[in-house]
Copies of this chain bind each other. A is one copy, B any other.
Amino acid sequence: MLSKNQIKYIQSLHQKKYRQQHGAFLVEGAKSVQEVLQSDFQTELLIATETFYKENSHLTDGQRTPVEIASVADLERAGTLESNNAAIAVVRTKENRPLAVTDHELVLILDDIRDPGNLGTILRIADWYGIRKIICSETTTDVYNPKVISASKGSFTRVAWWYGDIVTFLREQPSKQSVYGAFLGGENVHQLAFSKGGYLIMGNESNGIRPVVEPYVTQRVTIPRYGEAESLNVGIATAILLDNWRRETAQ
């Protein structure tokens, strides 16, 4: 059973301020908890129903993870999910460390993505297309937000990120690298010869890529429209661009 203080601690991690203060975040639900237990993230506390723990205790072998058995009611009171009959893991956040980028990989740059659902979806798509590194502007929503973690469906364990000043970052890149940016009125991605490595910048849901970032884009790209919808959601657009990039550069 969870103590009042444990519930209070877990509830505090719904908020960014306390996640930063404690260096911890929440992973909720059967699938995501299973994935995080098998990843290189360090779980400081596993809270699980008896059933979930019985079926998954082998995942904590050799890790000395502290475990609390809890009721479904406690899981739902402490966590953010409306229904959770499995588990919550309290997990240590990782240090925000710059990522080493090699010449032949595509790296995603997120310029001010605000919606947690969108960010989680983008992690999942990146993971599907084998993107290993994401660079986020400081204004991009916190990746440790429980909604991001949940929408990523476990993909947060396989993608690395760094939050920082993307203008400074781009300024310091070797000039031969391609920097693709999603814009209206760019080159049709169905006709573009993508390079194998480089950067793809996706901008804010309402305002797109910021004017201070624009000068670093070497190739504007656009998804052709055949009908009348005004726009595509940023998660959908990211998926289509990565699919076209892989289609062009595979083999």
> Which residues on the B side are within 8 Å of A64 (C-beta)?
none
In the complex, what residue of chain B is closest to A117 when comparing beta carbons?
Answer: B117
Residues of B within 8 A of A230 (CB): 153-154
| Docked-complex contact B247 and A190, CB < 8 angstroms | yes
The number of times this chain is found in the oligomer is: 2
Given contacts A158-B227, A240-B240, contact A232 B128 (CB under 8 A): yes
Quick check: B153 and A121 within 8 Å, CB to CB? Answer: no
In contact, B127 and A227 (Cβ under 8 angstroms): yes
Given contact pairs A223-B243, A236-B239, A240-B240, A229 touches B153 in the complex (Cβ within 8 A): yes
Q: Which of B132, B154, B229, B243 contacts A128 (CB 8 A)?
A: B229
B-contacting residues, A81-140, CB 8 Å: 121, 124-132
Residue of B nearest to A246 (CB): B226
Residues of A in contact (CB 8 Å), total 35
Tell me, yes or no, whether A198 is within 8 Å of chain B by CB: no
Q: Which residues in B have their C-beta under 8 angstroms from that of A127?
A: 227-229
Q: How far is the CA of A244 from the CA of B230 in the complex (A)?
A: 20
User: Given that A243-B243, A247-B190 are known contacts, is A130 also in contact with B236, CB under 8 Å in the complex?
Assistant: no
Contact of A236 among B223, B225, B236, B244 (CB under 8 A): B236
User: Are A243 and B240 closer than 8 Å at their CB atoms?
Assistant: yes
**Is A168 located at the chain interface by the 8 A CB criterion?**
no
Q: Which chain B positions have C-beta within 8 A of A155?
A: 228-229
User: Complex formed: what's the CA distance from A224 to B131 in Å?
Assistant: 14
* Chain A at the B interface: SS class: loop
CB contact list, A135-170 vs B, under 8 A: 153-155, 158
Question: A228 with B158: in contact, given A190-B247, A239-B236, A239-B239 (CB under 8 Å)?
Answer: yes
Asked if A233 is at the interface of the complex by the 8 Å CB criterion, the answer is yes
14 chain-A/chain-B pairs, Cβ below 8 angstroms: A124-B232, A125-B236, A127-B227, A128-B226, A128-B228, A128-B229, A128-B232, A129-B225, A130-B228, A155-B229, A223-B243, A232-B239, A235-B236, A244-B247
Beyond A130-B226, A235-B236, 18 additional pairs, beta carbon < 8 A: A124-B229, A124-B232, A128-B225, A128-B226, A128-B229, A128-B232, A129-B225, A129-B226, A129-B227, A131-B227, A154-B230, A223-B243, A226-B250, A239-B239, A239-B240, A240-B240, A240-B243, A243-B243
